[in-house]
Structure 1
């Protein structure tokens, strides 16, 4: 028999009854049932129940065993009684009576329990990550990650891609984040960099004629941590192709990712239609360039309804250049309680608040005398001259009725659209409520309602100013509204390509032009586009959003040196500077560079979504904490003086 096991802890079943077996694993939990010890023995594959009573020759030793001790047992497989079968685990029909025991590794008192669902501080979990990873949910997350990577590789190979490895110690990469620098011992005063991405190397591979490249690539960026981002390193499915258009890249990566989400999504719906949304429209409709399309809410510009209105705050705001008012429809949100709650949310985000209108059933019903008049007014046409005269007389008799005089005036002017509008506003069974509605009046309120397509029981929220100042808050408000009102379909993966990113932006304070996004994207229109207004130039750059996260980023590359130099010139960088910083790539492009493009998909983030986790550290084997520290390995650590001398470095203490 093997020194440690004849089977794993997930293999034994009823067919093994009577067999003598050897198992090794960890003590998941111990139960003492009146002198009979039951132990759940766990390994990577599953759990087997083993038991021991005073008839066993190792009973006394077994009584000493505690949780998370690593042990080996020999024993006989027995069938469980029918009423004791556990159909939740593969080994639930059997148990093993222990005849021999070996302690492979005893455990000290545990700083965190592996069995159960107790919550522990993240710092504790990361310091004792080797214990944290023993928990079932973490084992499943890491297995999922491995399976996802294997599936990605298989799907890329099936599309005739080959995997090539790129250097880890290299020069700085033009990705826009901070580099991790590596001092050179052989070249004092000079530094390598850990690659932020294999960007330059994969482009150089295209110049070298390797038509289709991919790699599960480690990337290193010194970034501020977020729940969906590591502060040090991450992995991405990196790919590049020659002689392709933007659509070719979409058509290549889309089936790979769709297949992965269908394979590992746990039965959740995966959208088949992946719309292409311009960066401009995404910002307008969703307040972000990584929209969650599971939420059906689309924001709209409603500036014209407030221009010159009785709501002075918005009216005066719109007198300034570059300002606008946007509305966030909130279907089923038509209660003052919900509106007040959202107004408080905006204040918590640093804004004065959010204006709102909600539509509700009118408290005072239209009386029976007026009902036929209302019905007739709503259907009034240019041919109804006799009816017009009769109705006008009725309205004059009802001068005290709210709106009657305004409607009578509109009839006299034969403005029947306004007649129908005012009748709806004053005599319908529902009304617009809230301070905004009172300030701007029923005509503007009704125009807003019709534009947004909302009605009784619904609400709308309003934010104003320069879009960059409130867009992000509007996007977060849209998310909160969708979640709180139950509008967001949580059992679904919804994808969207965000396209047409601007290449340049203008600094409002300095008036200086700089790159807004990837400076190495090919401008749409090439050199000709760069001769016009730089702020109008769009790049062949694209991101893929899913459920509010950016999963993929890529571009068709600017492979022509003259266009690259012109783009950098507009941003204030001379040719000498470009050659100095990106000399390897610029030099290569002078020797017959093909048109090429590609993208990179974040492996960690994809697995996070598939595992239904909110924090990327739940799907990374050994992550850093929020302060970019490895509490288990004590990194970063202070170097020894001898190491510093070899590198010709000196650490200057912080004041």
Structure 2
């Protein structure tokens, strides 16, 4: 039978009790982690968000002792007692391992059924079960630590940015749909039948309007939404640390963010981030690492051998070059004896990332080589290729040949896969990198037109403005991403603030004047009334916290995450709604199977 607290007031959280309190009477409250009945004594590990504390019940305190016999895992209790030195061995693994509380008053505040899995740190529980009973999962110490750190991170960012003159302003979450980019989540309007709001993919347009309004420096911890396929580091709803600054250029934005990162990592993790953070152009990152978010904690960089194999006897190489592509390779040091089965797996992996295949040279320690294409090459051509790859006995050389985009993608992914397999990554490192000078446009074969690589409001580099119409593929953007350990944790750009440049940009992206004003008219109109040069950046807070907590999945740093199909296993959202609700919204649903 559950009781009330009956006048008891919590004096301490579990780990706030220490040997300094020995002899004092304390009141603690929490969940029963474990019960051990030794006959004349009962020991309880009490858990709250701070950690564990051992409670002792003595048979000499008859009524309390009898009540303690009924305690089970996850019962919620209040206990008052005297702090003592531990009667048994000290537990070095507990913050309170040298003390215990001898209980003289016990209240059972809530009873509990046997949970569907152990509420313990390293319990091996299926993720589906964890997420279905997320409120139990969240009792686990590592998740409580993660969410506490997340809170500490956002609190620190707010304080730091406030001291830098940023004003926190909330922007709307019911917005106009702008279909450029990822798919919007739509919200039907009851008052305007047939019309829809969109949930924001970012506060981009609003924060630019705030710069037009003279707020100078804006920040927001903003909820954002994208209706897209999910991965380990993606969720349909996510949180951004969003900022915008006026009267600035690239260096100004990078400066304030480098100082923020240095202060944040020192405060939260006691890690020293060395400034300035290295900068690398997009094209250098792609050529060296096959990625615009390279993991620089290990080497194994891509090597361009296009000029070396030009005109060789291997048609796969020469065909790729003739079609405007390239041939690049990786030198996997010390793996020349890799079994054929493992090499075949690498080939399959490369095909999964868009390659038609993967060529290789396995260099054995005795000087012999085994290659998938040696029969098509002369000895001199092979020697030149091995020399260009700095191949030594014992090395495995792998090659991809295709359009640059495919070659980068294939070898960039293979580089990461091999690094994991061969344990090349120092997981204790925090390697930051700015990737700058992204392409302004990227070509879409699907839509047969150029798309904005970031968004249509990104400023081209001054020296590339003349190429917007004549050679869009050559235009570089004043865009920058901040990368940590191979993951983009934030990105931004200088924005276009001149109306004529903005019109040229929208035209290059295929917008007619009418279409541009239909989608972005409110922004273009605002630009008529004096707009300052401005730039911004947004961090993915979930991803940043994931790295800082050392987790591999952002679900471990979000209180109530969704699964891969964007559903919530705990609440079973999304669900069908009442026909009356749909009628009020002037919406009729279609049975998909019936439609087929």
- The alignment's TM-score, normalised by the length of structure 2, stands at 0.92
Matches within 5 A, 1:60-99: 60-81=66-87, 84-99=89-104
**More divergent stretch after superposition (509-518 vs 94-103):** 509-518
2:478 aligned residue: 540
**Aligned partner (choices 101, 105, 111) of residue 106 of structure 1:** 111
- Structure index of larger Rg: 1
Paired residue for 1:164?
A: 169
User: Is structure 2 residue 273 aligned with structure 1 residue 255?
Assistant: no
Equivalent residue, structure 2, for 1:278: 281
Structure 1 residues 488 and 591: alpha-carbon distance in aligned structure 2, compared to 1, 3 A threshold: same
1:265-309 C-alpha deviation (Å, 9 max, x unpaired): 465x74545332222222222222111111212102112222232
Q: CA deviation at 1:13?
A: 2.2
Mapping 1:461-476, distance limit 5 Å = 461-476=398-413
- Counterpart secondary structure, 2:529: coil
Q: How many positions carry a matched residue from both structures? A: 583
Q: Once the 2 structures are TM-superposed, how far is the Cα of residue 493 of structure 1 from its aligned partner? A: 1.2
Q: State the match for 2:520 in structure 1.
A: 582
Task: Answer 1 or 2: higher relative contact order, Cα 8 Å, separation at least 6.
Answer: 1
- Provide closer, same or farther for how the CA distance between residues 317 and 166 of structure 1 changes in structure 2, counting only shifts above 3 A: closer
Q: Distance in 2 between matches of 1:359 and 1:638?
A: 60
Closer/same/farther in 2, CA of residues 66 and 266 from structure 1, 3 Å limit: farther
CA contact (8 A) 2:469 2:508 kept: no
> What corresponds to 1:633 in structure 2?
571
In 2, the alpha carbon distance for the partners of 1:306 and 1:551 equals: 38
Alignment deviations for residues 348-404 of structure 1 (CA, whole Å, 9 cap, x no partner): 442454222244444xxxxxxxxxxxxxxxxxxxxxxxxxxxxxxxxxxxxxxxxxx
2:332 matched to which residue of 1? 330
Preserved CA contact (<8 Å) 1:179 1:193: yes
Ranges in structure 1 where 5+ consecutive residues have no aligned partner:
363-429
The aligned residue for residue 505 of structure 1 is 442
| Cα drift, residue 219 of structure 1 | 1.0
Measure the CA separation in 1 of the matches of 2:383 and 2:54. Answer: 69
Give, in whole Å, the separation in 2 of the partners of 1:236 and 1:509.
Answer: 30
Tell me the residue number matched to 1:617.
555
TM-score (ref. length: structure 1): 0.84
1:173 & 1:163 partners in 2: Cα distance? 25
Superimposed CA distance per residue, residues 73-127 of structure 1 (whole angstroms, 9 cap, x where no aligned partner): 122222113x612233332221112222111111012112113522212221111
After superposition, the CA RMSD in angstroms is 2.3
Cα deviation, residue 224, structure 1:
1.2
Q: CA deviation at 1:2?
A: 6.0
Q: Which residue of 2 aligns with 1:373?
A: none
- Measured in 1, the distance between the counterparts of 2:446 and 2:227 equals 27
Equivalent pair of 1:173/1:199 in contact (CA under 8 Å): no
Contact 1:80/1:94 (<8 A) preserved: yes
Query: Alpha-carbon deviation of 1:584?
Result: 1.1
Q: How many Å apart are 1:63 and its aligned residue?
A: 0.8
* Correspondence 1:291 to 2:294: yes
Deviation of 1:631 (Å): 2.1
Q: Is 1:563 matched with 2:501?
A: yes
Q: Alignment partner for residue 134 of structure 1, among 139, 147, 159?
A: 139
CA distance in 2, matches of 1:510, 1:200: 25
Report the CA distance shift for 1:141/1:336 in structure 2 as closer, same or farther (over 3 A): closer
2:438 matches 1:434: no
In the TM superposition, what are the counterparts of 1:157-306 in structure 2 within 5 Å?
157-173=162-178, 176-231=181-236, 233-265=237-269, 267=271, 270=273, 272-306=275-309
The residue number in structure 2 matching 1:451 is: 388
Q: Is the 8 A contact 2:350 2:414 kept in 1?
A: no
* Alpha-carbon displacement from aligned partner over 1:222-279 (angstroms, at most 9, x marks no partner): 1211100112x11111111111111211111122123323433465x74545332222
**Aligned counterparts of 2:323 and 2:118: Cα–Cα separation in 1:** 60
Match for residue 643 of structure 1 among 576, 581, 592: 581
> In the aligned structure 2, how far is the partner of 1:561 from the partner of 1:116?
56
| Counterpart for residue 485 of structure 1 | 422
SS in 1 for 2:33: strand
**Would the aligned equivalents of 2:121 and 2:142 in 1 still touch at CA under 8 Å?**
no
CA distance in 1, matches of 2:448, 2:51: 63
Give per-residue Cα distances to partners, 1:474-517, cap 9 Å, x unaligned. 11111122233333222211122222222223344775333343
Which range moves more in the overlay, 22-31 or 487-496?
A: 487-496
C-alpha contact (below 8 Å) 1:343/1:354 kept by paired residues: no
Asked if 1:573 corresponds to 2:578, the answer is no
Which residue matches 1:393?
none
Q: Can you give the 5+ residue segments of structure 2 that lack an aligned partner in the other structure?
A: 1-5
- Inter-CA distance 588–129: structure 2 relative to 1 (3 Å threshold): same
| SS across alignment from 2:16 | coil
**Do residues 58 (structure 1) and 59 (structure 2) align?**
no
CA distance in 1, matches of 2:116, 2:47: 19
Structure 1 contact 271–495 (Cα < 8 Å) conserved: no
Residues 118-161 of structure 1 deviation map (CA, whole Å, 9 limit, x = unaligned): 22122211111110000011111111111111121122122222
Corresponding residue number in structure 2 for 1:345: 346
Match of 1:524 in 2: 461
User: CA 1:556–1:333 in structure 2 vs 1: closer, same or farther (change >3 Å)?
Assistant: same
The CA distance in 2 between the partners of 1:99 and 1:440, in whole Å, is: 87
Contact residue 6 and residue 21 of structure 1 kept, 8 A: yes
Paired residue for 2:3?
Answer: none
| CA contact 1:523–1:529 (8 Å) conserved in 2 | no
Task: Please list, as runs of the form range in 1=range in 2, the aligned pairs for 1:355-370 lying within 5 A after superposition.
Answer: 355-362=359-366
* Partners of 1:11 and 1:90 within 8 A in 2: no
Change in CA separation of 1:68 and 1:217 when aligned onto 2, cut-off 3 Å: same
> What's the secondary structure of 1:579's corresponding residue?
helix
**Residue 271 of structure 1 contacts residue 493 of structure 1 at CA under 8 Å; is this kept in 2?**
no
Distance 2:176 2:489 in 1: 26
Residues 443-491 of structure 1: CA deviation (Å, up to 9, x unaligned): 3334334433343333321111112234322111111222333332222
Aligned match for 1:17, one of 18, 22, 26: 22
Once residues 604 and 447 of structure 1 are traced to their aligned partners in structure 2, the CA distance between those partners, rounded to angstroms, is: 47
